[in-house]
């Protein structure tokens, strides 16, 4: 068990050390500009990255940031209607070659979206198609076959949640906004001053 935890920690350290800080800064800056311009942040993914995007989107929504999760498959069956010109769409694809994601890219472009790619494959179709991309680097998934979406999913979650916390700071979101959006549960009690 400890061996796997250490491998995951090592994978995360590798992702942080090798990420292009300049491109990551550009992405965050454009996210801030998007929100200040009255537009929204949209994430899109398939498979095991769906709950990762949903978590990121849920965090933003709880902070009062306009955000939406667009399932890559559902997008081309009508859900593209949620995307408006000027929205920033962050498209996740580990391989960067997933047929559905490549197909969606052109339709997002036609909608006038500001498209960013986040992938682990700098030589992929999506990475070559898009001028705006954040490349993550991963040596191994951490399973015995190097196939299970494990360390790559953890890496996505780690980076996206860090971005959410950065947006919290840069947009100067106050706790009253979070309190208004989160009246229930244990957090709601704390925010109402009811103690633990």
- Torsion (CA) 62, 23, 25, 171 in degrees, nearest 10: -30
Full strand arrangement of the beta sheet holding 88-92: 67-71, 41-45, 88-92, 114-119, 133-135
Whether 2 has a pLDDT exceeding 80, the answer reads: no
Question: Structurally, how many domains does the chain consist of?
Answer: 1
pLDDT confidence of 196, banded at 50, 70, 90?
low
Question: CA torsion sign, 139 to 16 to 116 to 91?
Answer: positive
Q: What is the mean pLDDT of the chain?
A: 95
pLDDT value, residue 195 = 66
pLDDT value, residue 190 = 85
Which residues span the domain enclosing 125?
1-192
Contact assessment for residue 70 and residue 118, using Cβ atoms and an 8 Å cutoff: no
Instruction: For residue 69, give the CATH number of its domain.
Output: 3.40.50.10490
Q: What is the pLDDT of residues 109-146, one digit of tens each?
A: 999 999 999 999 999 999 999 999 999 999 999 999 99
pLDDT value, residue 100 = 96
């Amino acid at each position: 068990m400890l061996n796997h935890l250490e491998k995951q920690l090592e994978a995360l350290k590798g992702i942080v050390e090798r990420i292009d800080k300049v491109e990551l800064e550009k992405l965050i800056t454009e996210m801030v500009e998007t929100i200040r311009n009255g537009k929204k942040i949209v994430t899109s993914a398939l498979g095991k990255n769906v709950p990762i995007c949903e978590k990121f989107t849920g965090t933003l929504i709880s902070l009062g940031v306009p955000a939406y999760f667009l399932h890559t498959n559902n997008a081309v069956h009508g859900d593209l209607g949620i995307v408006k010109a000027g929205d920033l769409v962050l498209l996740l694809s580990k391989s960067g070659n997933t047929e559905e994601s490549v197909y969606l890219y052109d339709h997002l472009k036609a909608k006038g979206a500001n498209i960013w790619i986040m992938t682990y494959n700098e030589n992929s179709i999506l990475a070559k198609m898009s001028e705006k991309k954040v490349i993550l680097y991963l040596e191994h998934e951490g399973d015995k076959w190097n196939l299970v979406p494990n360390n790559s999913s953890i890496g996505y979650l780690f980076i996206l949640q860090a971005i959410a916390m950065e947006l919290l700071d840069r947009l100067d979101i106050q706790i009253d906004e979070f309190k208004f959006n989160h009246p229930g549960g244990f957090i709601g009690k704390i925010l109402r001053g009811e103690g633990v």
